[in-house]
Structure 1
Amino acid sequence: MIAGAAGLALTLLAGCGANDEGPRLLVTSGFTDEVLLLDPADGTITRRIAVDPRPGERDEPHGVAVSPDGRHWWVTVAHGDPTLHLFESGGDRRVGTVTLGLPGAGRPGISPDGGTVIVPDYWLGGTGAMSGAAVVRADDLAVVERLELCPAPHQAAYSPDGRWVAVPCPLSDEVLLLDAADLSVRHRVGLGLAPGAPFATEPGNPLVRPMNVAWAPTSDRVWVTLMRQGAVSAIDTTGVELARGATPRQPTQIAVTPDGSRLIVPARGDFLLAVLDAETLETVDRIVLADDPHPHGVVLSPDGATAFIAHEGTTRSSGAVTAVRLADGQVLWRTAAGVFTLGIAWRPGPGD
């Protein structure tokens, strides 16, 4: 671990406020350097917020996360000098920005008490070189620590009970389980081509490419998408792989229904939304999302009834967001939204 806040560039503005709108979807548009706010009821884009530290350059807003109390949200910017931006939900006003001192920035994780943000260094240009994460104090955006973890960690995800942080490492075929108390690596889980298979991946040349994780509501296991293999793996908090199930091609992000019974997984390569049984990891439903290419991000409504999917788009087409009713697979609405549309999060409304 490397402590300190060297290279910190911080701008912090005063202000706080309550959300004066209904709930919103926060969606990152990587190629237009924006965060889009959508009404989850009908997909209307209600606001576009520029997140563009270098006008004229592509900065790529990447990951977005909301505080547990819904009063603030954060977005990472991956290119140039990667940064973390803090917004208050009331008016969606930017109140702080910090330069992370990392080569890249992936999907941030927020501690259940809302006090800490972990930003993994998704540094694909490192081609397998060791990398890590910045630990940021949420209230004033001070970088209080830098962690050495693995090549190009993509996401940091706290368990609901706050005891663990899971970090998938797509360039080294590992999932790390960190003790949230001191952020030490307790388990380094290597993933071969099958559970228990020899783990011999060379950094930078992955076989299965673990990309994103989601915790069980009980905090006793975490699921990870294996994008290159086309599978989801279940890992317990002792670092043991419990099971693995096949998915459609290129599973990306993953969400868990509130009761913990189903996993919702966009399959980038097959333009599908896969629904998996969380215990057996069998695919129980495949919902076709044929109108928009490369489904990537996913977030569920608080009741778990609706999945909202961010589609990347292509170099020749815009991205999009679709809403899918999980009970019957019906697409409720579709909105063209941004380009290279990756991150998506649910921001609650007042009183939610």
Structure 2
Amino acid sequence: MRTVQSLLFALLLLVVAAVPVQAQEYYAYVASESADEVALVRFDGTDAVVEETISVGQIPVETEGAHGMTVSPDGDHWFVSIAHGKPYGRVVKYETGTNKKVAAAEVGLFPATMQISEVTGLLYVVNFNLHGEPVPSTVSVVEPETMTEIETVETGIMPHGSRLSPDGSKHYSVGMMDGTLYEIDVMSGKVSRTLKTGEGMTKPTWVQPHPSKPLAYVAHNGADEVVVVDLETWTVTQRFDTGEGTKPYNLDVTPDGSTLVVSYKGSGETGIWDLESGERRAVVENTRGVTHGVVVTPDSRYAFMTAEGVGGEPGTVDIVDLKTAKKVAHVDVGLQAGGIAFWKMDTKSAAHR
């Protein structure tokens, strides 16, 4: 009897071993500003690797400044903003997967962050005019099929961040040098509201709407804080002190709405904040200094952080597990890694061994 039971147990183990397990793979595109290249990074839950590096410059003797990244809502194309031009910058469109260049649009001076509205289907990119006079700049509105700039909307001085409300009907950006939050109604193409989010040189560098609540978060790079804006009352309701010298730069909120992830550009760290309590859960040291970009995976599990590096150091992408608040992987990319956009999650089957 025991022999039969042993055989049955052994057979059961063999069956279990043959059953495939599901593993997630995560893909993101990362721009390296001083290398004029974009890296496709894959993370399999354990290791991060660069699948491909795509050169995006067109003037070999110059650094053109690959800066902002976004992926179309259908996942079929990725876009990179090239900051330096003659005289203007441009946005370049590529196919995902093949990474073949499709077309480019000339936009304003020093284009940076961008996103596509699912309401209008149009791409909105801020022109932050880094070396220009301290005068209001614009948001370029680009038709992504033909890659044509169809209009510009004047906003603030050195606009940063370019993020849309969850329903795609409102566009938000901040004027770094005028301390103002700007809201554009995408249907009218006009600025609908403005709000001073702080006093003095707060230098806002990012705005991130909450995925399900009428709230937006603004990084004050010059004041070491993140402020919470109630979008219904159009007032600042909370201030998160990030700590002296942290210089918060970019933000993302997990799709489940529970967690705010903040890149601390000044201290080379990542801040993880619980949005229910308003308390910081953890600070994670990044692999390189000068932490820059952040994007959270659609399952709210991981944050992909870019760090520029210092001097001749390569840029780096760090993967932070938001459950454990620990850095679990990293991979080097090109010099001055900055803009980052999530592409897709793939479910892979792997047999037990």
Whether TM-score is above 0.5 comes out as yes
Partner of 2:131: 125
Q: Distance in 2 between matches of 1:219 and 1:186?
A: 19
What is the one-letter code of the residue matched to 1:123? N
Aligned to 1:52: 57
Give the corresponding residue for 1:267: 264
Q: Which amino acid counterpart does residue 258 of structure 1 have in structure 2?
A: P
C-alpha displacement of 1:90: 3.6
Match of 1:258 in 2: 255
Structure with larger Rg? 2
Q: Give the residue type in structure 2 aligned to 1:319.
A: G
Match of 1:107 among 110, 113, 116: 113
**Aligned 8 A contact 1:77 1:84 in 2:** yes
Q: SS where residue 37 of structure 1 aligns?
A: strand
Which secondary structure state, in structure 1, belongs to the residue aligned with residue 131 of structure 2?
A: helix
RMSD of equivalent CA atoms: 1.8
1:151 aligned partner: 157
Q: Distance in 2 between matches of 1:138 and 1:111?
A: 11
Q: How many residues align?
A: 317
Partner residue in 2 for 1:213: 207
Corresponding residue number in structure 1 for 2:100: 93
Q: Once the 2 structures are TM-superposed, how far is the Cα of residue 280 of structure 1 from its aligned partner?
A: 4.8
Q: CA deviation at 1:278?
A: 2.1
Displacement of 1:304: 1.1
Q: 1:304 to 1:349 in 2, by over 3 A?
A: closer
Mapping for residues 174-323 of structure 1, pairs under 5 Å = 174-193=180-199, 201=200, 207-218=201-212, 220-238=214-232, 239-248=234-243, 249-289=246-286, 291-323=287-319
Counterpart for residue 31 of structure 2? 28
Q: Distance in 1 between matches of 2:347 and 2:137?
A: 40
Q: Deviations over 1:135-175 (max 9, x none)?
A: 10121111110111111112221111122111111111111
**One-letter amino acid of the structure 1 residue matched with residue 241 of structure 2:** A
Q: 4+ residue runs of structure 1 moved beyond 3 angstroms?
A: 349-352
Residue ranges of structure 2 left out of the alignment (5+ in a row) = 1-24, 349-353
> How much does 1:126 deviate?
2.1
Compute the displacement of 1:91 (Å): 1.0
Distance of 2:99 and 2:320 partners within structure 1: 26
**Residue deviations 1:246-293, cap 9 Å, x none?**
11411111111121121011111122211112245332221222x311
Call closer, same or farther: CA 1:53–1:323 in 2, change over 3 Å.
same
After TM superposition, give the deviation of residue 95 of structure 1 in Å.
0.8
Partner amino acid for 2:75?
A: G
C-alpha distance in 1, partners of 2:139/2:255?
Answer: 28
Paired AA for residue 286 in structure 1: V
Gaps of at least 5 residues in structure 1 are: 1-21, 194-200, 202-206
Cα deviations by residue, 1:225-264 (Å, 9 ceiling, x for unpaired): 1111111111122421121111141111111112112101
Amino acid at match of 2:224: G
Between Structure 1 and Structure 2, the one with more strand by share is 2
TM-score, normalised via structure 1 length:
0.86
| CA–CA separation in structure 2 for the residues paired with 1:120 and 1:233 | 21
Deviation at 1:301, TM superposition (A): 1.6
The one-letter amino acid of 2:303's match is A
**Counterpart AA for 1:87:** Y
**Counterparts of 1:53 and 1:276 in 2: how far apart (Å)?**
40
Q: 1:219 to 1:86 in 2, by over 3 A?
A: farther
Whether the aligned pair in 2 keeps the contact of 1:83 and 1:105 (CA below 8 Å) is yes
